[in-house]
Structure 1
Amino acid sequence: MTLRERLLLSPLYDWFGKRSYAQSGEDIIADLELGRKGKGVYIDVGAFHPKLFSNTYLFYKRGWSGVCIEPRPEAKEWFLKVRNRDKFVGMGVGAKKDVLEYFEFDDSATNTFLKDQVEKNIKEAGRKLKRKINVAVMPLADILASSGLGNAPIDLMSVDVEGMDLEVLASNDWKKYRPKLVICEDLEYDFESPKSSGTVKYLLGLGYGLVAKTPYSLIFKDKNTREE
């Protein structure tokens, strides 16, 4: 854990009135789209850290709870300490049940299961590979089925898994676990050709509409969601 990550676990981080914990204000946009709802349920895939770059911690502070999924072994202790209302799942998400190599870097925000991403991290971003570990992965639908969510309505799903976002989305059971709002990382989105994005095509096909774009993420809303 870096010094920055340790400091962010302290309650002092919250006492200075920070409004957004997300990387680019995704949580503020989601809050507006969801009508500043008092309590709700979220699913956070690639939750990374309880507060840093979190699309869901703002909602946790308000009384929400949900399922946080993160493969970093050290993350479990942090989430149990800081976000004990949440169900933490320490594994990866993929198309099928498997055990995959997980590559950890000096900048843990760039950790990945993808070997081609490893090369980019080293050659293009100058990151240093710290270690490789084996991590269990399961489809999102299977993880949620054993999470204790039951039939609780899901307000928000956040997906940030360094290049595997579409695979994660496709592993969900959208009839059973259908959030009102989806935040998904998409660094390849092209304003001039939005449907060239696999994420856009997939979620539009499921009946979602693209409502916002930040430097790192796309935000989709279920077209059947009623305004509250």
Structure 2
Amino acid sequence: MAKKVISFDRCNADSFFSLITDKGYYVDIGVREGVHDNKTFLLYNNGWSGICVDAHPDYANICKIARPTDTVLSMICGKDDKNCKFRYNWRGSFGSIYNEELDSKRKLYVIGGDGENCWYGEIDENKNYLGFKNSIEHSESQSLNTILDKYNTSNTKIDVLSIDVDGAEQEILKHFDIKKYNPSFVCIEIERALEYMGDFKEKEFIFNYMKEHDYIPLCTFNEDYIWCNSQENHKLGIDILKKFESKEFVVQNINTIHPCNYLHKNKLQLNEETIRKYIDYINSLY
């Protein structure tokens, strides 16, 4: 009989990672609220732990409540910079180190929409929505090196590094010594939308970076690309993939809801009480 593995991630990368080890350690950059469509929430529920980083303070606050035993940081991850320009987007996704061209293209190709495709209606991009910060501001950023040196003080082996930063991948990887920290598996979301929004070289840069640092391509889950740091981990990854292909393991998707959508549907504003209502609702789903 097939064994069920649940997934909170629409691409199911979390179900794959859940089988690489028991109670491992992750670093999740661009975690948002760390629940809906997230690659490490399942791992957290399975007894893993780690560092979760998101630049948006409102989403980081939700994550702190959802994951009280993780180290959750509200900060920009890029380079060490006291004055980093950042787009804080109410959705959490599409917030990124500011790129004027990318910011304007998102309005046309991603963030907009008509009728049923735009459930949130017309929103001023520089005013808070549902209580979520929505603006362009300057804040301090820290490199991933600095974050790991400060917060992984016991030098725990990183089993999974997940990066989902909506177009700021180069800024993070350029200032990250991946050889020093040597995560076993690296998962980077590369938006397909970037390919038609303009001449953005994120995918090319990421692939070259991983190759130059001797990381081995393993597989993709939709927009999530996974590499590993050794032939041993590559074999482990292939063996896990075969278990899914043979139906030894089957994925049961947990259909969570984005916190903004939850607040909008229930006519609520963001505060600690509504955050806890949201988390209680998520927990009722599984």
Q: TM-score range by the shorter chain?
A: 0.7 to 0.9
Q: Which of 108, 128, 134 is matched with 1:123 structurally?
A: 108
Count of matched residue positions in the alignment of Structure 1 and Structure 2: 204
Q: Distance in 2 between matches of 1:94 and 1:102?
A: 11
Flag the 1:80–1:106 CA change in 2: closer, same or farther, 3 A.
closer
Amino acid at match of 2:7: S
Q: Which of 105, 115, 134 is matched with 2:89 structurally?
A: 105
> How far did 1:123 drift?
2.1
Choose between structure 1 and 2 for higher RCO, CA contacts under 8 A separated by at least 6 residues: 2
Aligned counterpart, 1:141: 145
> How far did 1:23 drift?
3.2
> How far did 1:214 drift?
2.3
Indicate the RMSD between aligned Cα atoms, in angstroms: 2.4
Q: Which of 150, 163, 166 is matched with 1:162 structurally?
A: 166
**CA deviation string 1:131-161 (max 9, x = no partner):** 2233221111011111134321110000011
> How far did 1:120 drift?
1.1
When normalised by structure 2's length, the TM-score is 0.65
**CA deviation string 1:79-125 (max 9, x = no partner):** 22111111111111113323222223353311222222210111222
Does structure 2 conserve the Cα–Cα contact (< 8 Å) formed by 1:180 and 1:225? no
**CA deviation string 1:165-191 (max 9, x = no partner):** 13212322223311100000123599x
Aligned counterpart, 2:180: 176
> How far did 1:22 drift?
1.7
Aligned counterpart, 1:31: 18
Flag the 1:105–1:77 CA change in 2: closer, same or farther, 3 A.
closer
Structure 1: gaps (5+ residues): 1-16, 191-195
When normalised by structure 1's length, the TM-score is 0.80
> How far did 1:218 drift?
0.6
Does structure 1 conserve the Cα–Cα contact (< 8 Å) formed by 2:33 and 2:61? no
**CA deviation string 1:13-46 (max 9, x = no partner):** xxxx9811123112123334x2xx2111100001
Q: Distance in 2 between matches of 1:171 and 1:70?
A: 17
More moved, 45-54 vs 161-170 = 161-170
Q: Distance in 2 between matches of 1:107 and 1:225?
A: 39
Aligned counterpart, 2:7: 20
Flag the 1:152–1:134 CA change in 2: closer, same or farther, 3 A.
same
Structure whose CA Rg is larger: 2
Q: Distance in 1 between matches of 2:172 and 2:31?
A: 13
Aligned counterpart, 1:56: 40
Q: Distance in 1 between matches of 2:51 and 2:96?
A: 20
Larger helix fraction of residues: 2
Structure 2: gaps (5+ residues): 113-122, 127-134, 196-202, 237-286
Q: Distance in 1 between matches of 2:222 and 2:206?
A: 15
Does structure 2 conserve the Cα–Cα contact (< 8 Å) formed by 1:71 and 1:135? no
